[in-house]
Amino acid sequence: MTIGQLVEMLSTMPKDAVVLIENGVGLSSIGALEFIDSQGLGAPAEVILQPSNDE
């Protein structure tokens, strides 16, 4: 999924809805985003969603 696809899907949902991510043992809210620029020929830039450690 690309950022454009994600934004398009999220734009149809309630603005106050909480975004959750699977953390291996359940669901967590998103605690951070990490951007990784393209790492070479043909490799796309990536965004990594990281779970919150507060839960």
Kindly report, residue by residue over 35-48, the tens digit of the pLDDT. 999 988 889 999 99
Which residues contact residue 19 at a Cβ distance below 8 angstroms, ignoring those fewer than 6 apart?
A: 10, 29, 30
Residues 6+ apart with CB under 8 A from 23: 51
Q: How far is CA 55 from CA 10, 20, 25, 49, in A?
A: 23, 12, 11, 16
**pLDDT tens across 2-37, in order?**
999 999 999 999 999 999 998 888 999 999 999 999
Tell me, what's the pLDDT at 55?
A: 62
The total number of residues shown for the chain amounts to 55
pLDDT band at 53 (very low <50, low <70, confident <90, very high): confident
**Of residues 38, 36, 29, 33, the one with CA closest to residue 49:** 33
- pLDDT for position 2: 94
For residue 4, what pLDDT is reported? 95
